[in-house]
Amino acid sequence: PASPRPFPRATIGGCPVDVANFQESLAFLEANLRNENQVKVGCVNAAKVVAAQKDERLRQALEACELVLADGMAIVWAARALGIPLPQRIAGIDMMLALLENAQRRSYRVFLLGAQESVLRQTVEKIHKLYSGINIVGFQHGYYFPDELPTILEQINAARTQMLFVALGTPQKEIWIDEHAPQIQAGLIMGVGGSFDVIAGIRKRAPYW
Ligand code: UDP
């Protein structure tokens, strides 16, 4: 089990969001990685709040994450309107990049799951360029057949993965993480949606505003 969250959890449009800034969130993830506790990380933006209102399974999967980031500005605006002291937006991709930097520094074993095969290959190449010496212990595209899943889970564990990034659509990735986390030994499992596409350079990230 993960260490207790040092920050409160708010509810916005029925979705959980943790009231924490970037550095606190990163420090929480780091501490749990060092202690080998498992933390599942989810991201919430306006589209996901709407999706979760119609999809209880998605809402539950987010609730089960030990850390839920306010990934969209609309969440920050909604928090302000509701008087919730949410300090800032934390884009999932920024957290992923910060974690990769830590992985490079501390030699954490990283596994990437998701995106199209060619995109994933470009993502891996780009990450090697950005964080030279980083230990990517495995990668698997996100268009596998269901009967391949047991082998994929075995690969993740056999590689002694410490950080697993899951780039699938919504609600696929949230439900995937919720369902399979108990079978995975990684200390950090983070759902990142289109971030691999952004890192590979085939999709632009959302504008700052
Ligand atoms: N994806 C995948 N397998 C699938 C469906 C989607 O690997 O069966 C990948 C897709 O290629 C893309 C990511 O999942 O890289 C979805 O990104 P999106 O921005 O749609 O995620 P969301 O914003 O819904 O979290």
| pLDDT tens string 121-140 | 999 999 999 999 999 999 99
Cα–Cα distance for residue pair 189/177, rounded to 1 Å:
7
Our answer on whether the CB atom of 8 is closer than 6 Å to any ligand 1 atom is: no
- 168 alpha carbon to ligand 1 midpoint, in Å? 4
Atom 16 of ligand 1: nearest residue by CA position:
169
Cβ contacts of 77 within 8 Å, gap of 6 or more: none
Calculate the CA 176 to chain-centre distance: 12
What residue has token string 């509810």? Answer: 11
Q: Is the bond preceding 171 in cis, omega lying within 30 degrees of 0? A: yes
* Percent of the chain topping pLDDT 70: 99
Residue 75 token pair: 């969440």
Q: How many CB atoms lie within 10 A of CB 2?
A: 18
What torsion, rounded to 10 degrees, do the Cα atoms 203, 143, 109, 133 define? -50
| pLDDT tens string 66-121 | 999 999 999 999 999 999 999 999 999 999 999 999 999 999 999 999 999 999 99
Q: How far is CA 111 from CA 57, 74, 120, 182, 187, in A?
A: 25, 31, 11, 17, 12
Atom 21 of ligand 1: nearest residue by CA position:
193
Q: Can you list the alpha helix ranges (DSSP code H) found in the chain? A: 22-34, 46-54, 56-63, 73-82, 92-106, 117-130, 149-158, 172-180, 195-200
- At 2 the pLDDT is 66
- At 27 the pLDDT is 96
**Nearest atom (ligand 1) to Cα of 43:** 25
- At 1 the pLDDT is 61
Residue 133 token pair: 């010496």
Tell me how long the chain is. Answer: 209
- 108 alpha carbon to ligand 1 midpoint, in Å? 25
- At 171 the pLDDT is 98
Task: Compute the mean pLDDT over every residue in the chain, rounded to the nearest whole number.
Answer: 96
Cα–Cα distance for residue pair 18/200, rounded to 1 Å:
29
What residue has token string 């030990």? Answer: 66
- 167 alpha carbon to ligand 1 midpoint, in Å? 6
Q: Is the pLDDT of residue 3 over 80?
A: no
CB 96 within 8 A of CB 192: yes
Atom 15 of ligand 1: nearest residue by CA position:
115
CB 156 within 8 A of CB 186: yes
Cα–Cα distance for residue pair 106/156, rounded to 1 Å:
19
Query: Which of 65, 141, 168 to probe ligand 1 with, by most ligand atoms within 8 A of CB?
Result: 168
- At 148 the pLDDT is 98
